Amino acid sequence: MNSFVKKHASGILLCAAIALPSWLLGKVFPIVGGAVIGIIAGMVIALFWNDKKGFDTGIRWTSKYILQTAVVLLGFGMDLGVIFETGRQSLPIIICTITTSLVIAWSLHRALKIQGNTSVLIGVGSSICGGSAIAATAPVIDADDDEVAQAISVIFFFNVLAAILFPVLGHALGFSTNSGDAFGIFAGTAVNDTSSVTAAASTWDSMWGLGNQTLDKAVTVKLTRTLAIIPITLVLAIAQARKQERECEADGNNKSSFSLRRAFPMFILYFVLAAVVTTVSIGLGASPAVFAPLKELSKFFIVMAMVAVGLNSNVVKLIRSGGRPLILGASCWAGITVVSLLMQHVMDIW
């Protein structure tokens, strides 16, 4: 324990110190969000701080293990009963939008010559839940901090565009202004990150005096999307383990190294257990407010992890390689938006 503290404490405390003001600023500017502010702060500091001796071990630990802890804590905000009820209506749209994004990311990965991990992170982040999906996926595929930073930056850019443009687009397309259902499903399925989902839905409620109708619908649909983290990370974990096995065989080691137990990302199991605890507790009469502090802690931990990612990132490299990931992000975003609208039209939601 003393050895761990000596090696890691300074780096962890540094990330926490930078994360605190970033998290608070994220509350003031929710469209941007604390995670983006944190990663930018880390990147700026990294530009002027080359020798991280004494801090680097703790920073790397934060970017990996605090990130996984944040994902687990996300589960405490999820009532599976409510999510499944709303999911019956929105699930076909969610499946189609996720599939669209992943297929686009896979197709353009080779065409644009983008690193495999970056393509996966952008595809998953676009299709599921932005930063949270990237946080869950990065440790599974062994993505480095530059790849995580690149994906977060792309997702952030299209989050802001969606929060600003989607309410205008919804009105132009003729979504009902007497109910929040249609726009709520649209925002919940087509906007990447929870912060921008809530921003777009709240704007629609304010525009048409709908109280919280749109916001409640959009957030519940978004939480249903979040459940897709579970099967996708499991598939990616198995694929990553198989890839490592093939690499070992190519190096002349013919002994099978694949193990489902080792491939299984345990933090995803803990995420599911946290959601089950929430569901059972609420079913027994507990207030959802009981879990609010854990949800806030999860958000803070994500900001901490993003600070660590920023501190370990090469900003010059990110800028030089930023064009193609932006094209990939734009393609995923456009594909999700079109498919969401088409599915809603086919299902006669609008």
Whether residue 97 has pLDDT greater than 80 = yes
pTM for the whole structure: 0.76
Decide if 15 is inside a domain. Answer: no
Q: Give the pLDDT confidence of 220-266 residue by residue, as tens digits.
A: 788 788 878 888 888 888 888 777 777 777 766 655 454 555 556 67
pLDDT surpasses 80 at 168: yes
Mean pLDDT of the chain: 85
Span 39-82, pLDDT tens digits: 889 989 988 887 888 899 999 899 888 978 887 887 887 777 76
Say if 13 falls within a structural domain. no
Asked, for residue 213, whether it belongs to a domain, the answer is: yes
pLDDT digits (tens, 9 = 90+) for 322-346: 789 999 999 999 999 999 999 988 9
Assess contact for 122 and 153: CB atoms under 8 A: no
Q: In the 8-state DSSP scheme, what is residue 75?
A: G
Domain assignment of residue 234, yes or no:
yes
Q: What is the dihedral of CA 87, 91, 93, 94, to 10 degrees?
A: 90
In this structure, how many other beta carbons lie within 10 angstroms of the beta carbon of residue 253?
11
Q: What is the model's pLDDT at position 236?
A: 86
Evaluate whether residue 153 is within a structural domain. Answer: yes
In a domain, 61, yes or no: no
Q: Backbone phi, then psi, for 314, in 5-degree steps? A: -100, 100
| Closest C-alpha among 159, 247, 234 to residue 197 | 159
Number of domains in the chain: 1
Place of tokens 């499944």: 84
The answer to whether residue 25 is domain-embedded is: no
* Residue 5 lies inside a defined structural domain of this protein: no
How many CA atoms, within 13 angstroms, populate the side-chain half-sphere of residue 125? 31
Structural domain for 198, as ranges: 77-294+320-346
